[in-house]
Amino acid sequence: MPQAPGMTGARREGTSGPVVGRLPARLTASAQLTIAHQNGVATTQQLQTWGLSRSMVARRVATGEWQLLFRGVVLLHSGAITWHEKARGALLFAGEGAALSHRSAAFLHGIVKHPGSALVVSIPDRRVVTTQPGLTVHRRQVQPWAGGRLRAVGVDETVLDLVRELRSEDEVVALVSDAVRQGVLPGRVLLQAGRRDRLRHRRLLVDLLGDTDRGIESPLEHRYERDVERRHGLPVARTQVRHRIDDRWIRADRVYVALGVRVELDGQLAHPFGRTDEDTWRDNAVVIEHSELTLRYRWRHVVVQPCATATQVAAALRSRGWPGRLRPCSDTCTARTA
């Protein structure tokens, strides 16, 4: 919180202790408020504008009373450096139009739990910023919207920035699942994705966030319906079927009506740690009360091994009277009817 005029300390964001033990008395109330707003960080140019000589600043840094975060950016206390203070220093160093982006913005938005070893900022491409240890700078032809007390690229664009950097599909799924759990709106992410000419994993991103109007409530359900069922000629299951089992309401992801086969898809959003105790109880209750078989699949079964999964589902359906046969999805398809 900013201190009243006349006081010579600033406060660290989120704590009650002083960031600065002793500021020169000549600093105006306005300067002190600016320092408080900037998490106790200031540029040497600001300090000189406020009347502090270059030699005074250098002396305090040399004695350890103040700390140099980046070239020309000083933290006005001698204690442990917080991530927010370092992030503020990165923004001040990067200058006009800078915003935290990529993993740094994702950490600020709560999408990732760890900020990474370096601060990441984006700047308009008309500007050039000298490389600094611990700081990654992206020059962008089109700078996305950014805001907040610690200026950061918006959450939707941040998701896309991270997706573009990821190599494996599993990493993309984990990231998008975490983002949705934190309240990121799929439609807004897809809207921003449509405005980008180049985007790695675009098709996967659409698969993960699209098709919300067919009773499909998770990315894994979409991939199962498309890659396992449709592409292999399996019958179309009913989705999100609710009924009572043992005096409890349950909901099955997919039910092959009249065949006594259910499919549960343990994706990242609903089942971040795989099968749960509740899942086991429900599967057992379904067998006892309805003599129905429950097949349970995870992301790898559906995305990496859809042909093998189709083979297993077909075997279950045929054991319950399904007369159909699997259809190969491609020339290299390994699916077969048992």
Identify whether 249 is part of a domain: yes
In a domain, 86, yes or no: no
Highest-confidence segment of 8-17, 60-69, 240-249: 60-69
Mean pLDDT along residues 202-222 = 68
- Phi, psi of 161, rounded to the nearest 5 degrees: -60, -45
pLDDT for res 24: 73
- Reduced to 3 states (helix: H, G, I; strand: E, B; else coil), residue 122 is strand
pLDDT of 287: 57
Q: What average pLDDT score do residues 13-41 get?
A: 72
Q: What angle do CA 189, 190, 192 make, to 5 degrees?
A: 65
The pLDDT-based confidence of 11 (bands split at 50, 70, 90) is: very low
User: Do 19 and 60 fall within a single domain?
Assistant: yes
More confident residue, 338 or 197: 197
Q: Is residue 5 part of a domain?
A: yes
| The predicted structure's pLDDT at residue 282 | 55
What does the pLDDT look like over 171-194, one tens digit per residue? 887 888 888 888 898 889 999 999
252 and 291 fall within a common domain = yes
Mean predicted lDDT score pLDDT of the chain: 83
Q: Within this chain, do residues 103 and 71 fall inside the same structural domain, yes or no?
A: no
336 located within any domain: no
For residue 74, being part of any structural domain is answered with yes
What's the pLDDT band for 123 if we cut at 50, 70, 90? Answer: very high
- End position of a domain, from candidates 202, 229, 264: 202
In the chain, the number of structural domains is: 3
Asked if 11 contacts 3 with a C-beta cutoff of 8 angstroms, the reply is yes
Same domain, yes or no: 236 and 143:
no
Q: Which of 136-150, 251-265, 269-283, 286-300 has the lowest mean pLDDT?
A: 269-283
Residue 109 and residue 76 share a domain: no
**Quick one: 161 and 189 in the same domain?**
yes
Q: Specify the pLDDT at position 248.
A: 64
25 or 195: whose pLDDT is higher? 195
> What are the DSSP calls for 202-237, one per residue?
HHHHHHHH--TTSS--SHHHHHIIIIIIGGGTPPPP
Identify whether residues 102 and 127 lie together within a single domain.
yes
Mean pLDDT of 89-99: 97
Domain boundary among 140, 170, 202: 202
Q: How confident is the model at residue 20 (pLDDT cuts 50, 70, 90)?
A: low
Q: Is residue 301 scored above 60 in pLDDT?
A: yes
Is 87 part of any domain? no
Per-residue pLDDT at 159 exceeds 60: yes
Residue 239 has pLDDT above 90, yes or no: no
pLDDT at 208: 75
Domain co-membership, 113 together with 188: yes
Do 57 and 122 lie in one domain? The reply is no
159 within a domain of the structure (yes/no): yes
Assess whether 243 and 292 both reside in one domain: yes
pLDDT at 245: 61
Domain final position from 26, 54, 80: 80
Please report, for the domain that includes residue 289, its CATH number: 3.40.960
| Residues 225 and 253 grouped into a single domain | yes
228 in the same domain as 164: no
Q: Which residues constitute the domain of residue 64?
A: 1-80
Q: Is residue 325 part of a domain?
A: no
Give me the mean pLDDT over the 71-94 stretch: 96
Among 10-14, 48-52, 89-93, the least confident range: 10-14
Across the strands, what pairs with 124?
140
Give which of 36, 42, 32 is closest to 73, Cα–Cα. Answer: 42
From the list 261, 251, 235, 248, the residue with the least C-alpha distance to 319 is 261
- Average pLDDT on 34-44 reads 94
pTM of the predicted structure, to 2 decimals: 0.69
